[in-house]
Amino acid sequence: MKKYISEIKNIVIIGLPIFGSQTSYMLMGVTDTIVAGRANTTDLAALAIGNSIFNPLWFALSGVLFAVTPIVAQLFGAKNFIEIENKVRQILWMSLVVGLVLSIILVNIGPLIKLLPIDLEVSVITSEYLKALAIGAVFMGLFTCLRCFSEGMTLTLPVFYVAFAGMLINIPLDIILVNGLFGFPKLGGVGCGYATSLIAIFQTIAISVLIIKSQKYKKVRIFKAIKLPKMETIKEVFKLGMPIGFGIFIELSMFSGAALIISALGVGVIASHTIAINITSTFFMLPLAFGLATATRVGNLIGEERLLDAKFSASSSLLLCFMIAIVTTATIFIFREFLVSLYTSDPEVIALGVSLLLYAAIFQIPDGVQMSAVGSLRGFKDTFVPMILILISYWLIALPAGFFMTYGVIGPKLGASGMWIGMILGLTVFCFLGIIRLKRVIDTNLKTVMT
């Protein structure tokens, strides 16, 4: 038990700053929504559509950069600081390309947006909002690379400082640019796009300064030289990163697909479902942070050639995330009516939202545990098979099952509850498959070392 407590403490030390960073990113989105919503309903709608386009694009393209964390983590554990410098210098060029490609897409996506069945004014604002985001796209890519590099070295606190500062600066920037204060033009929802780009520029500069100046990074000075990418590094990053990005895209598409499936059930049902998803996502932030921390911790231990300790760390992470899930499940179950009432005063929406939160409470357990398994697998640099498992669990099980149960294709018509049961089923399947895969990867690595 002492060993479990000690290892969980190691994961928590790495994970809590990640939780703070993730919360800061989320609060930036909340600020955008509040400020744009107070300005104009049309701007708020445009912002929502713009983000629904931007987020899948961003994760699909930037997923390759998430490979930096396990690459750096293993090299850091092995104390191979020279190789960390070489790898990160090469991947920075790749992050530059990712940002440029994203920027080009965002600038030219306007004609496609006009084809959507939405109001013309909303489509125009959406296009301009995405063009504003395009300005900071390159810096988003660079910051993601530098953030993952820092987290791979277990230096998660500096990233939190930068993320938190960015979140605080975003508040006045949004207010000024959206409402046209202090002589600036009144930009409405588009102003949130410019604010996000400015924050991306600030965060990239801030973390670069920390990496250059802070003694914590003295063993790895990535900015002391320039190194063009080699094909070997490009292949390694794509092999690890593409499955991560596509896996995130699959997960996002499951939630988007769920919303589309129940959209025909009426506005009240959509509102209740959205509230339940939002509450679920908020509670998921903690296991997400510890899952990401596990990738770093397990990667470090593998780099140190401590495979048995890496196995124990993975087990400790599973235990930690399971305990967190139990607590969040109980919290949502007990306070579900209060939580829903924070979002709406409509009695019908509250009633349905409270019933959906019963499923959201159950949702926490497989969702939290699978994040731990995914984190451990990333630490072992195993990302392709987990992507296939996500594909099977979410697209072949969760969405079809949810659709069938929602509309009674097979069995009784359950409405929105059917969609939630389908998502729980898919997540539970992936949770078990992820744990089985993790056990197999660990056993394979241990056998390789022994032979």
pLDDT in tens, 233-276: 999 999 999 999 899 888 888 887 888 888 778 878 888 888 88
Answer yes or no: do 373 and 448 share one domain. yes
Residues 24, 170, single domain; the answer is yes
Residue 9 within any structural domain of the chain: no
Both 91 and 121 in a single domain? yes
**For residue 16, which of 360, 427, 366, 320 has the smallest C-alpha distance?**
320
Query: 225 with 261, same domain?
Result: no
Domain assignment present for residue 38? The answer is yes
What is the phi-psi region of residue 220: left when phi exceeds 0, alpha when psi lies from -120 to 50, beta otherwise?
Answer: beta
Query: What pLDDT score was predicted for residue 60?
Result: 84
Q: Which residues of the chain have pLDDT under 50?
A: none
Do 196 and 256 lie in one domain? The reply is no
Same domain flag for 277 and 184: no
For residue 352, is it within any domain?
A: yes
Residues 150 and 286 in one domain: no
Residue 370 is predicted with a pLDDT of 94
**Domain end among 170, 199, 229:** 229
Nearest to 422 by CA among 393, 443, 444: 393
Clarify whether residues 89 and 22 are in a common domain.
Answer: yes
Q: How much is the pLDDT for 281?
A: 84
54 with 99, same domain? Answer: yes
Query: Does some domain include residue 2?
Result: no
- Using alpha carbons, select from 296, 294, 303, 236 the residue that is nearest to residue 64: 236
Decide if 296 is inside a domain: yes
- For residue 3, is it within any domain? no
Coil, strand or helix: which one is 66? helix
pLDDT digit string, tens, across residues 113-147 = 888 777 788 889 889 999 999 999 999 999 999 99
- Which of 185, 204, 229 terminates a domain? The answer is 229
**Number of domains composing the chain:** 2
Query: Is residue 22 assigned to a domain?
Result: yes
pLDDT at 43: 83
Q: How many CB atoms lie within 10 A of CB 192?
A: 32
Q: What does the pLDDT read at residue 445?
A: 87
Do 186 and 285 share a structural domain? no
**Distance between CA atoms of 276 and 396, rounded to whole angstroms?**
23
The whole domain housing 84 covers 14-229
- Residue/partner pairs of 387-392 with CB below 8 Å, 24 or more apart: 387/243, 387/244, 387/246, 387/247, 387/250, 389/430, 389/433, 389/434, 389/437, 390/247, 390/250, 390/251, 390/430, 391/250, 392/429, 392/430, 392/433
Instruction: Mark which of 229, 257, 274 sits at the end of a domain.
Output: 229
pLDDT value at position 409?
Answer: 87
Q: Are residues 149 and 275 in the same domain?
A: no
Is residue 8 a part of any domain in this protein?
A: no
112 with 206, same domain: the answer is yes
Q: Are 353 and 420 in contact (CB under 8 A)?
A: no
